[in-house]
Structures are given as structure tokens and as C-alpha cells.
Amino acid sequence: MNSSYKLILSCLLFLLTTSLYAQQSKDVSVSLLVYPTGIIPQLSIDKIISKKSSLGIKVGANIFRHRDLGVHDDERGHGFGLTPTYTYYFNSLHTKWHISLKNDIWWNHVDWSDELNNSTVGGQTDIIVLQPTAEIGHSFLFGQSFILTPSLAAGLEWNIKTDGEPTGQGPIVLIGIKLGKRF
């Protein structure tokens, strides 16, 4: 399946999920996650399912440059993905401290190169990445409906399907900020 079909499918799934939650209490947000070799902008919707829990789905882009921290001397690329999320809040207002369990699925394209005998050899790899993480965050509620949430997450990046040469995978730490509105 090529990337445009995957993007269309992801957007349709996101819109379907949004419409399913239309009559429920929910948060709609934009977020930015930063890690040592990349950034992840995302759109999300989280449905409050109990006094202290929510379920969410995110759709976003992954833009990275692993430099020489991957398998090759230089790895850079981009992709898009989906992230199902479960969040537990330590109070019933769905604010202040919380922990989240997330499992990103990324469809990434990697351009890589190696320096060999004073010349550059390169190639391209398409990967599907599974990225389970645990996150701790603190949500601030402004007024009755605006939310600002800084967060810190840690987990693993695991290439579950590789089309081309192997590329970097392993531990990941992400710092995030999310701005949203509660409906």
C-alpha cells in the first residue's frame, strides 16, 4: 500500500473516531513531541470513559534525522502514524498528574548513507515502526475548557517490518507539550 493510501486511511480512521465520540465528553488537542533525533506533531481526540480514565487516538507525522545514532552513518526521513492511548488521571477532574500508555504505529521512509573508502554509499528503506511508550504528564485547566499539558515519555522504537537495509531502532525518550479544548 503506498503512502497516499495510508495517509487517506489514517485520516478516515481519525474522522470516524471523532464522529463516534461526537456526543461524548472529550478533549480535542494539538501536540508536539520532541526527541533527540526528531519531532512529532499530532492531532488527538481523547474520550473520558470514567472518573479517572480516558481513551484516545492521535494521528501525526514523524520527522527525524538519526545522524549516526542508527545503523548507518546518516539516517533521515519522515512518516505518519496513529497512536491509541489510555490515560489514568490521579484526580476526577482529568487534570493535574496522569500516566498514559501509548502504542504508536509509524509508516516511515528513511534515506540513509554510509561513508566507505572515501566515497558515499546510500539507499532508501521503508519501515513500519511499533513504538510503545509510558508517559507522565501534568494537565493544567484554564477556565472551563482549555488544557495545557507538558509531558515526558519513555519507551522503545521497534522496526517490525523493513523493506530495504535495516535502520536504527531502540530506546526513545520524548518531551511533549499539548494544547487542547474540552467539550
Q: pLDDT value at position 174?
A: 98
Q: pLDDT value at position 117?
A: 87
Q: Which helix (H) or strand (E) holds 16?
A: helix 3-20
Greater model confidence, 17 or 70: 70
Residue 54, domain extent = 3-182
pTM (2 d.p.)? 0.85
- Look at residue 23 and tell me whether its pLDDT is greater than 60: no
CATH number at residue 120: 2.40.160
Q: pLDDT value at position 70?
A: 87
58-75: pLDDT as tens digits:
999 999 998 888 899 999
Count of structural domains within the chain = 1
The one-letter code for the residue type at 18 is T
CA end-to-end distance (rounded Å), the chain: 36
DSSP 146-161: EEEEEEEEEEEEEEEE
